[in-house]
Amino acid sequence: MASSTTGDAGKATRPQPRDMAHHINKRVLNQAPSAMKAYGALADSKPGLTSLAGANFFPLQHAHFTLPSFSSLSDVQSAMAGPAAAIHLDKSGDGPGPAGLMDLRTVLQYGLTKSYPQLVDRLIALNELLHGVPHSESAVTATLGNTDGVSKAMTLLVEDGDIVLAEEFEFPASVNAGRAKGATFAPVPLDSEGIVPEALDKILSEWDTKKGKKPHVLLTTPCGQNPTGCVSTPERMDAVYAVAQKHDLVIIEDDPYFPLQYAEYTSDASKRSENLAKARDSLPPLPSTPEKDDARAVAEAFKAHAGVESYLKRDVDGRVVRLDSFSKVFGPGIRLGWASASQQFVERLWRIGEVTTQTPNNMTQALLASYLAEPSAIAAAAGGAAPEQGGWGLAGWLRWLHALRLSYEAKRDFFLDAFYRHVPQDIISTVPARGGMFQWLSVDLSKHPRYDGSNTRELIDELAESLMDAGVLVMPARLFVVESVPGERNDEKLAAFRATFAGSEETIDKGLKLFGDEIRRWFAEGAKK
């Protein structure tokens, strides 16, 4: 894991976060730092040391990566088809070119838990552009993606026997991460605008301690919630954060889909084309080089498109652990993300990393640090000898995210067009997703001839099997239901499926045609084939 706090500028005017030590797992709170890691950090602070501490027989001599050139970042198609820029990582003086932003002699070593400042400093700056700096002790630390981030956050905050609050539908791995730490879960109702704050407040205000200790942790995915696709509005976030303050909750903001936030859906194709053109033109004109770009102006235009915010933005208390990921926007196989929290929480996340994952893959860190760097920074790191290397800078990264999310927004629109064309709306309903990759398809089982008010689970399981037999796969709601007690029945929540619009248009259209046809047949005939 990697970390750094924000700079000193403006600290005096920002609120001091509250002491949250009482939320930290007691074993984690008392865990001592690694003596070897601390000594290594001391050595790293003294350049020019002759090291007798590590090996150096590494066969990899040179790594060469290509990326779309900065000049092609107007849309995804241009970026993929356009000219390529290069990123080199060499051992200084040994490879075919200059060393680049980072030297392979360093990258191929073990690394320290805090990891590389070349990456972390970029992530801090990106956070500031997108979320601001809410308090005086904001910090960032790298993770191996959001599954790792959630697992570490649960290790940080959960004691054996704790009850964690979570949205009533949740990504199963996140719930399993809490259960692995000894927690159980209590579901919080959702609607199309995210967590219902009145319901959250009622749960906590009326908490019966006979059920267990009052919850102090809330797990939420506010943008493109998986599986329902809902997006929390700024007003909802204000209200939920106020409830968290009232009841002293820590919010784990698991937000891997934050870059994929969309404007409202319209069925008018010409209006959509007009809106898409306006969205592409909403960013400042693309300059000739990253150094000439205005990252703040690009960030403001990026945020204005859909208006989705974060809990981190309003976290004056230091009660949010925010998790971001490169998986959805760069590639899931790179296993890299970052956690943003108070320095108090981040320092303990380092201790967790020291005895688990140690640090994210160094090559991945070096690659992403290079993408996020301006070419001039790479040249400076290489002693002025790498002007041809092609970092995008933060503005270029945001331009890529904007182009990517417009492509996914078009896929969402295509999915909804096909849904309304192929699927009977008197049986299946959906609310257009405002973020993420998923559409939540609700089933009105009351239209089925064998529905008796008590057999939702049996009928939905039968329908899921019939759909697979018909050649289409969707994920039944029961896979995502948060149960207070594992195995308890929440049958009234089960009449829904999750579908994705991340595939090809051909797959989407074919899949929804098969889905609609089988829905009509199954409801008409009242049985499987």
Any idea what the CATH number is for the domain that residue 494 is in? 3.90.1150.10
Which tokens go with 275? 């809106």
Residues 130 and 241 in one domain: yes
The Cα–Cα gap between 509 and 152 comes to: 39
Averaged pLDDT for residues 285-296: 91
pLDDT in tens, 471-496: 999 999 999 999 876 556 668 789 99
Q: Are 234 and 347 part of one and the same domain?
A: yes
Q: Are residues 336 and 221 in the same domain?
A: yes
Query: Which pLDDT tens digit goes with each residue over 119-129?
Result: 999 999 999 99
- Number of domains composing the chain: 2
Q: Give residue 12's pLDDT.
A: 58
In this structure, the answer to whether residues 202 and 320 fall within a common structural domain is yes
What per-residue confidence (pLDDT) applies to 54? Answer: 66
CA distance 170 to 167: 6
Q: What is the pTM of this model?
A: 0.92
Segments forming the whole domain that contains residue 340: 115-262+311-358
Residue 71: per-residue pLDDT: 87
Residue type, 328: K
Cβ distance 235 to 312 under 8 Å? no
Q: Is residue 482 domain-resident?
A: yes
Does 1 score more than 50 pLDDT? no
Does some domain include residue 282?
no
Is 74 or 261 the better-scoring residue by pLDDT?
261
Type of residue at 526: G
Is 458 part of any domain?
yes
Q: With both helix axes pointing from N to C terminus, report the angle between 117-131 and 295-306 in degrees, rounded to the nearest 10.
A: 50
Q: Are residues 412 and 474 in the same domain?
A: yes
- Interval 380-386 mean pLDDT: 65
Q: Evaluate if residue 303 carries a pLDDT over 60.
A: yes
Q: Are residues 331 and 195 in the same domain?
A: yes
In a shared domain, residues 322 and 466 = no
- The pLDDT, as a whole number, for residue 78 is 86
* Domain shared by 454 and 518, yes or no: yes
Helices 393-422, 269-281: axis angle to 10 degrees equals 170
Q: What is the CATH classification number for the domain harbouring 253?
A: 3.40.640.10
Asked if pLDDT for residue 275 goes beyond 70, the answer is: yes
Give a yes or no: residue 5 inside a domain: no
Rounded Cα distance between 174 and 459, Å, is 27
Would you state the pLDDT for residue 83?
Answer: 78
Quote helix, strand, coil % in the chain, to nearest 5.
45, 15, 40
Judgement on whether residues 328 and 422 belong to the same structural domain of the protein: no
Task: Determine, yes or no, domain membership for 229.
Answer: yes
Residues 343 and 421 in one domain: no
| Whether residue 339 sits in one domain with residue 205 | yes
Residue 385 has pLDDT above 90, yes or no: no
- For the cut 60, the answer to whether the pLDDT of residue 387 exceeds it is no
In a domain, 286, yes or no: no
Domain contains 246: yes
Alpha helices, H only, 158-268: 172-180, 197-205, 234-247
CA distances to 276, 313, 323, 437 from 329, in Å = 20, 21, 14, 12
pLDDT at 423 over 80: yes
Q: How far is CA 215 from CA 41, 166, 339, in A?
A: 37, 10, 22
Domain assignment present for residue 220? The answer is yes
Q: Are residues 340 and 449 in the same domain?
A: no
SS3 state of residue 2: coil
Q: Give the residue from 328, 358, 388 where a domain finishes.
A: 358
List the single range of 82-96, 133-147, 272-286, 384-398 with lowest mean pLDDT.
82-96
